[in-house]
Structure 1
């Protein structure tokens, strides 16, 4: 499991401990963006006594997508066949990871832990944030023409072949829109995306990295992709009529 971090010293040892207890055979890779609060040092200490834990140090804070791409590349180079992602703040519960593992074992190319399918839920969110997330995902479905209910979710498992088909080196999105980008690219490759219900719990410690600017930038990119997809559909339709 790839876990990106920036200033998560209050959470990182706690969440790694939960993940290691819930899934003792799962390896943990923390990708730290040079956290000034010492998050990377904490993981280094854990890695000295646990061979299932490693830390990848980055030199700057360059966005969620950049951290995940880096971690995915390292994991691919190390030979992993299934590579996952989750947050460090406890919003993704390691005790529910087995749901994603079962779905990937049944043949899905990408599995998403979803808040917005039957059985999924959220804890400690105000109604305004729920409305924003649901509305954002509806916007994604309408504009991109995909059926994924929670394309913005960040609790996921990818098959190695999925990341290779996407070619992560060509992915340029760096913020939270990275999650939507990866789901969209998976579907465009003709691969299967499965959603399983999870309970998403709002962080109790530390500061959220989501901001109004990040959300605005995500909407701009999704709009751009959606318009490009609509143009492509029109061109395909005109091409068929001309033939």
Structure 2
């Protein structure tokens, strides 16, 4: 059985994808990663393929077009279930989800069926977000 997978949906994240993967592996070296790329035009998939050449923990699902965040996560979860991963995390490539929290989530998962992180609980928060982005994010959680 595979243990833990981090799903990262991407669309034009070439500037972030290598850094986020490196950071995840810095704090959680045994985690596998699946990048679900929506046909990025900036070389995101190519950057992931270059990492895959030397790192078996990194995987890529290339999709035919910009199909959206929700369907990217669903495709990633399906991929994880087909490969029998025990734990699955989802993170954005733009560092709006901090990889440093992964070990704490993994520790919490030992005694829980579900571990949920939120920007809107005590101890949560957002950094460098505009007022408009905070309003949109808050509205998306309703």
CA distance in 2, matches of 1:23, 1:57: 24
Q: Partner residue of 1:18?
A: 23
Q: Partner residue of 1:56?
A: 61
Task: Count residues with an aligned counterpart.
Answer: 137
Render the CA deviation track for 1:126-185: whole Å, top value 9, x for unaligned: 445435544654xx3xxxxxxxxxxxxxxxxxxxxxxxxxxxxxxxxxxxxxxxxxxxxx
What TM-score, normalized by structure 1, do the two folds share?
0.53
* Unmatched segments (≥5 aa) in structure 1: 141-243
Structure ID, larger Rg: 1
SS in structure 2 opposite 1:30?
A: strand
Matches of residues 66-105 of structure 1 in structure 2 within 5 Å? 66-105=71-110
CA distance in 2, matches of 1:34, 1:129: 24
- Over 3 Å counting, the alpha-carbon distance change for 1:120 and 1:44 in structure 2 is same
CA distance in 1, matches of 2:75, 2:36: 8
CA distance in 1, matches of 2:53, 2:100: 24
1:125 maps to which of 112, 125, 129: 129
- Over 3 Å counting, the alpha-carbon distance change for 1:131 and 1:29 in structure 2 is closer
Structure with greater contact order relative to length (CA < 8 Å, sep ≥ 6): 2
